[in-house]
Amino acid sequence: MSNETFLTKRQLEILKLRNTGLSQAEIARQLGTTRANISATEKTAKENIKKAENTLKLSKMIKASAWVKVEKDTDLQEIPKKIFEAASKAKIWVNLDTPTLIGFIARECKDKIKGRRIISELDIGVTREGDIIAR
């Protein structure tokens, strides 16, 4: 399985063991290495996973047919209307309703939102299939 991913066999092994609740020290003892080695390997694995997630997001964004740029200081509650208008102009039916869309944006862009206020510009795309991509 690891030859089809961005993770090495060792990274995958360590992540699986961490997922069972073992500490880095316990894994190090079990694998005959140091806690520092386990820590570094786990960190690299998580970075690789993040890169893979970002690559998938970028791949979806390339497919976006409608775009909405959300300026700083916009109210989160105003964004769905902008998305629905952009999608409508592109003759796209969005797959999410307003509350679900707000929740999705809040989760995907949590580092760019404080309360209901957008604190950093957002780009939101709508694919031909009606899926939403937010960054």
Chain segment 15-36, per-residue pLDDT in tens: 999 999 999 999 999 999 999 9
* The pair of three-digit structure tokens given for residue 107, joined into one six-digit string: 């989760």
CA atoms of 127 and 24, how far apart (whole Å): 41
- DSSP string for residues in 105-119: HHHHTGGGEETTEE-
* Whether 105 contacts 81, CB under 8 Å: no
Give the number of residues written for the chain.
135
Tokens linked to 91: 């003759």
Residue with tokens 């409508």: 88
How does pLDDT run along the chain (135 residues), one tens digit per residue? Answer: 556 888 999 999 999 999 999 999 999 999 999 999 999 999 999 999 999 988 888 887 788 899 999 999 999 999 999 999 999 999 999 999 999 999 999 999 999 999 999 999 999 999 999 999 998
Instruction: For tokens 């970002």, name the residue.
Output: 54
Tokens of residue 8, six digits = 């090495």
Instruction: Evaluate if pTM is beyond 0.75.
Output: no
Fold designation for 2-58 = Arc Repressor Mutant, subunit A (1.10.10)
Closest CA to 10 of 34, 45, 43, 50: 45
| Domain ranges across the chain | 2-58, 63-134
Compute the C-alpha angle 16/41/8, nearest 5°. 65
